[in-house]
Amino acid sequence: MSAPAGVVQANLDFTQEKAKLNKPLKDPKTVAIVEVACALSDTIPHLKAAFQAEQDFRQAEERELKKLITTVMRAMSGKTEAEVEALKKTIFEKFELDFALMQKLQGAIENNKEATISLQTNKLTFTKKVKNGDVKEAAKDGIIKGSERFLHTYWDTLIRTWEMPQGYKLDTAPADITFLGENPVTLHGSSKATYVKNAFAVMHLAITGKDQLGQATYLAPQSVSHWLDGSALFHLTSIPSNIDLLAIDNRFDRCSYTSDYNLQNKRKGLVFAHSGYAFGGQRGETDRYTQEIAKRKINGPEDCSSWVARITGCRQTYATLHQMWHYENQSLKLFNHKPWEDISDFTTWLNVKAEGLRTEMEALYEPVIIRNPQQDIKAGQVYAYRGAEGGHTALVLGFKSDAGNSKIVGLSYGRDMPEVEGFGVQEFISPHLEMNKAKKTMLFSVSGQTVEAAKLLSKSPNALETGIASSKANHPVLS
């Protein structure tokens, strides 16, 4: 099938809608806070490393996704119309089979103590109940259904023009910064990016006649034993050894997402697309990736707390529960201050098993008692909250004072599908407006220049070359 007249075959336009970036899609106050934080980061090493980390991940993500899309489209451009229709049928049949199999796997891993956190929350199918309790409605926002919906909507556009559709701009400048959240211009910052990655990966499998993503050939391994270990788009996590996939359904050997994980013990794994975030990050993946926090898979998935721990130099991972215990204990010990009425029972935090992490957090993070938000909330601090259903943490970029709607502006990994997913700037309701029992909010100062920040900056392929932290830089912030 030939491309339309005047269109170069498979020469995708990744820069479409570039002019729209100049429109004020985000609050100018927020953009100004981000730019000031960039300037201040010259004197705050872990903040500078954080901006660099966002840039490095985004550019690695873009390079690989462009490679995948271009590989698929070039292969499609040489097909006849009949061949394209046959591939389309294969692709959507694959989505249907994969969805059914992933629902079965989700049932098998429920309450399985060997399952990694990222496996349990892979989001290939979405089973968390929405507010109205309709699980089927929630499933529409899983990765497989999102990818299927993307190709149903834009198949003709992709095949006819070889261009990404409107609203899916991929290309960014190095000094751009991702804002998390849905928007009409870019795919960065929401689940649109994850859906696109998965959609083109399944297309690639159909074109090459492969069954599983572990067999994909679009990305050659570089300094790693397998391409998945160097991928910024896909991650391989282990499936518990006590789960026999073929006993559950003999079609699992044709599932796009199951793969060999460890050939020595014949263990299987699950491959899933991500946009930087996976709940649990790489926790528990001891038989493939090191658990030493500074040596995890480069461009592998993180969650909010695993990244904040790493970028601030903590050698151990923690959760917002640990941050809450630390905040309560240190506030009482250092300042004789009770941060909220219902102080938790943090006996567990004081016992010998927690001593290593507790000692490290005490050396790195000092609680900030917020009396005057405009003075007390500063770039480079760590923000966290903990509620009944979990919590979140971020690196503070600044404080936006706006009468009764004040916000902390932060940089973090986050996911609230489908509107929010990835690594970028978010806004959070100011702690002084939310000091209540339902959501316990915390703020910490970070001690000194962290070793991890120095390492990250020295090893970054783009370090100090882009002006990301320069007050003179013009940042066309992604909105």
Over the chain (479 residues), what is each successive 10-residue block's mean pLDDT? 29 36 62 94 95 96 95 92 96 97 94 91 76 53 93 93 91 92 92 97 96 88 78 93 94 94 72 95 73 69 95 92 95 89 84 89 94 91 91 96 84 93 90 60 81 49 34 33
Residue 319 and residue 416 in one domain: yes
- What is the C-alpha separation between 233 and 69, in angstroms, rounded? 12
For residue 340, what pLDDT is reported? 81
Residue 133 and residue 45 in one domain: yes
Relative orientation angle of helices 45-77 and 192-208, to the nearest 10 degrees? 40
Q: What are phi and psi of 260, to 5 degrees?
A: -65, 135
3-class DSSP state for residue 271?
Answer: strand
Residue 177 and residue 295 in one domain: yes
- What is the C-alpha separation between 147 and 145, in angstroms, rounded? 5
Residue 33 and residue 63 in one domain: yes
Residue range of the domain that includes 176: 18-302
- What is the C-alpha separation between 47 and 292, in angstroms, rounded? 21
Long-range contacts of 370-375 (CB under 8 A, 24+ apart): 370/431, 370/432, 370/443, 373/399, 373/401, 373/406, 373/430, 373/431, 373/432, 374/399, 374/401
Q: Where among 277, 302, 327 does a domain terminate?
A: 302
Residue 152 and residue 188 in one domain: yes
Residue 133 and residue 249 in one domain: yes
Residue 290 and residue 321 in one domain: no
Q: Where among 280, 302, 324 does a domain terminate?
A: 302
Contact 278, 423 (CB under 8 A): no
Any domain includes 381: yes
Sheet (strand 420-429) strand order:
365-367, 439-446, 382-387, 390-400, 407-416, 420-429
Q: Where among 243, 270, 302 does a domain terminate?
A: 302
Any domain includes 154: yes
Q: How far is CA 184 from CA 84, 272, 418, in A?
A: 29, 25, 14
Any domain includes 2: no
For residue 296, what pLDDT is reported? 72
- What is the C-alpha separation between 53 and 463, in angstroms, rounded? 9
Residue 33 and residue 144 in one domain: yes
Any domain includes 4: no
Domains contained in the chain, number: 2
- Whose CA is closest to 445, among 54, 51, 46? 46
Residue 44 and residue 88 in one domain: yes
48 membership: H or E segment, kind and range: helix 45-77
Any domain includes 44: yes
- What is the C-alpha separation between 54 and 130, in angstroms, rounded? 30
For residue 137, what pLDDT is reported? 56
For residue 109, what pLDDT is reported? 93
Residue 172 and residue 73 in one domain: yes
Token pair of 138 as six digits: 């929630």
3-class DSSP state for residue 224?
Answer: coil
Residue 281 and residue 393 in one domain: no
For residue 461, what pLDDT is reported? 41
Contact 184, 167 (CB under 8 A): yes
Residue 327 and residue 279 in one domain: no
Write b or e for each residue in 280-310: b if 16 or more Cβ atoms lie within 10 A of its Cβ, otherwise e: bbbbbbeebbeeebeebbebbbbbbbbbbbb
Sequence-distant (6+) residues with CB within 8 A of 274 are 194, 233, 234, 235, 301
